[in-house]
Amino acid sequence: MGSSSKSLQTILGTPGVRGKRVTALSKDGLTDFIQTIIFSKQETKEPFYVLDLGAVTTLMDRWTRALPTVRPYYAVKCNPDPALLGTMAAMGSSFDCASRAEIESILALGVSPDRIIFANPCKAESHIKYAASVGVNLTTFDSSDEIEKIRKWHPKCALLIRIKAPDDGGARCPLGPKYGALPEEVAPLLQAVQAARLTVIGVSFHVGSGATNSRVYQRAIAAAKTAFNTATQLGMPRMRVLNIGGGFMPNTQFSEASSSVKAALQSYFGNDSGLTVIAEPGRFFAESAFTLATNIIGKRIRGELREYWINDGIYGSMNCLLYDHANITCKALACTSNRANPTCKGARTYSSTVFGPTCDALDTVLTGHQLPELQVNDWLVFPNMGAYTAASGSNFNGFHTSSILTYLAFSDSN
């Protein structure tokens, strides 16, 4: 209780949250809160998010307990919601930014530039110049052209060499096909850095987003150790930073992944007391903190099949189905047709299809999903909608993802 109310006080004063209403929730109060919002804005019935800041603080506690020596740099691209960013900042997180605009949004929170890593291995020259002008002095690279750009525009920048994780095949979104030096490229790249009189202070990797096999961290940390040894063999100054990237899941897989990381750090870097270990979790902090409520705007019955249209879809928040290969689910909230029993406990269910609002058949959110009989103006509530959802939605067909409102809550997990 004590630690949670203390974090609530800290969060209420943080940029992105300050001045906004934050509703305290009891343990199972989310559905009631969603209904309160629905009844207070009956007219528009626009979709909305609820961001549970209490869930974010609980995840931070979990991270700190499992990986006390690994400093998180939250990956802004996963969900740049200002209240989430402000909360992460208030809890002491650092940030992984991939563009000028992401850096600007973090600096605007009053976060010092030394809490930012510009972790995009391929940056536009104008963005590099901007990083130099605001004092963001840590970045990643995996090519000699990138070294040349950094030499020209930001020679004071410290570098991490991004290596390809040996095994990201099990990830939902592998990153290896695009980023990371191959083993035989590491030595020539380190030599190119030396020739450019820049400084490599460490190694970075990303095992792929949505990693399903925790052992990938072990193999990647072993590969990082090899790169550390290569630097030593080349007579370079001792490297001192290991960036283990993202890929962490906010579920039971996290304890497995964190144990695997800890064991690998111990076996490959056990006696290196000068080592700083950082990570770039995105999904871990964002995914479960957001719940999306959508309104049923249309219905069609075909025999036993029930088909519903809702006011968000593949071109909006559910773009995660395509880009993030996500599995999503939803629950009925029949607060219009069944006010006495809005969650429809005990009701008969039907195999149902859920369509998004745009005029494209691709815009299909769920098929074969069991739902009770619902009516137009009832709601569907989607949990775990914080990672790679609103961040990458479009305005296609006049449905503006960016104008979906987010209501703030703080649940007490104790």
Is residue 81 involved in binding ligand PLP (CB under 6 A)? no
For residue 25, give both structure tokens: 């929730």
Distance CA 321, CA 314 (A): 7
The single-letter DSSP state of residue 209 is B
Cβ-based nearer residue to ligand PLP, 389 or 411: 389
> If binding means CB under 6 A, how many residues of this protein chain bind ligand PLP?
16
Nearest partner of 72 among 285, 379, 354, judged by Cα: 285
Three-state DSSP class for 134?
A: helix
Contact range with ligand PLP by CB under 6 A, out of 21-29, 150-158, 239-247, 339-347: 239-247
Amino acid at 355: F
Choosing from 52, 58, 77, 258, the residue that interacts with ligand PLP (CB under 6 A) is 77
Is residue 356 involved in binding ligand PLP (CB under 6 A)? no
In the complex, least distance from residue 119 CB atom to ligand PLP, rounded to whole angstroms = 4
Residues whose CB falls within 8 Å of the CB of residue 64, separated by 6 or more in sequence, listed in order:
none
- As annotated, the active-site residues are 359
Choosing from 80, 166, 246, 313, the residue that interacts with ligand PLP (CB under 6 A) is 246
Is residue 248 involved in binding ligand PLP (CB under 6 A)? yes
Distance CA 249, CA 170 (A): 13
In the complex, least distance from residue 300 CB atom to ligand PLP, rounded to whole angstroms = 37
> Within positions 197 to 226, which residues make up the interface with ligand PLP, using CB under 6 A?
206, 209
Is residue 80 involved in binding ligand PLP (CB under 6 A)? no
Cβ-based nearer residue to ligand PLP, 49 or 73: 73
> Within positions 107 to 146, which residues make up the interface with ligand PLP, using CB under 6 A?
119
> Within positions 30 to 59, which residues make up the interface with ligand PLP, using CB under 6 A?
none
Give the sign of the dihedral formed by CA 257, CA 112, CA 86, CA 171. negative
Strands 290-302 and 305-310: antiparallel
Is residue 78 involved in binding ligand PLP (CB under 6 A)? yes
Helices (H), 305-348: 320-323
Strands 405-411 and 22-25: parallel
Choosing from 52, 142, 168, 280, the residue that interacts with ligand PLP (CB under 6 A) is 280
Helices (H), 123-207: 125-134, 144-153, 183-195
Cβ pair 165, 216 in contact under 8 A? yes
In the complex, least distance from residue 85 CB atom to ligand PLP, rounded to whole angstroms = 14
Name the site residues for ligand PLP (rule: CB under 6 A). Answer: 75, 77-78, 96, 119, 206, 209, 245-248, 280-284
